[in-house]
Amino acid sequence: MSIAALIFDFDGTIADTEEAHRQAFNAAFLEHSLFWNWSQGRYGELLGVSGGKERILAYVDGLAASPEEKARLAGIAPLVHRTKTRIFAELVESGGVPLRPGIARLLREARGAGVRLAIASTTTATNVEALLAAALTMESRGWFDVIACGDIVPAKKPAPDIYHLALASLDLPPESCVAFEDSAKGLAAARAAGLPTVVTPTIWTAGDDFDGALAVLPSLGDPDVPLDVVSQRVAGGPFVGLAELAKLVNGRSGRAAA
């Protein structure tokens, strides 16, 4: 079966954004006179919670504070998150968050081949549009038929809701698409929606369980940043393009049929 669409997670998948997010959270806390500081270790733990507002609420819930103070902090969480989103966009616009290897190449290849593009992410559309404009072109928002983001579905990953929405918007069956993720909860969401999924972990998710993935690779690779020898055996070449994806998908289909 030919591939009709590629559906990308955003944070960690299109770009390794998590360190910029961590810095933006800490800066937002200071703006709101909240003297919290999320270390890399603490932020890594909080990544188990999907969504920025939800991470703040989870952190508040674990504080040694009175019920009244926790209620106050929970009440200002949406405002703190909006501040964090603004700061993150400023970091992105400064060019501090590059795309991961292979992303720009694969996006351009897909566009040239008429393969549709979509994003299915728990981040905000503002974050997506800011990074695409800074790392690609101002017009790159228009490359994507669907940008499904944020709070527009009832449940976030690992629930499959955001992928169901993307597939419905594309009007395509899941078996004709390939998803790209970087975490176990993202993989669970994509697989629950029936999508074959390529996983490219980051330092934040390298210890996750990726059972059921179509392939697990350090990145998608590029001609000037090729995959290592072991990963090339998995990918079928020094980098992942549409031909390699088709072989991976059809290979899995063949094994399933057998």
- Active-site residue set: 9, 11
> What's phi and psi for 46, nearest 5 deg?
-70, -20
Contact 27, 21 (CB under 8 A): no
> How far apart, in Å, do the first and last CA atoms of the chain sit?
16
CA 250 – CA 1 distance, rounded (Å): 7
Distance separating alpha carbons of residues 27 and 24, to the nearest angstrom = 5
Closest CA relative to residue 17, chosen from 9, 28, 29, 5: 9
Burial readout 82-113 (b: 16 or more C-beta within 10 A, e: otherwise)? ebbbebbbebbeeeebebbbbbbbbbebbeee
- Distance (Å, whole) CA 218 – CA 144: 24
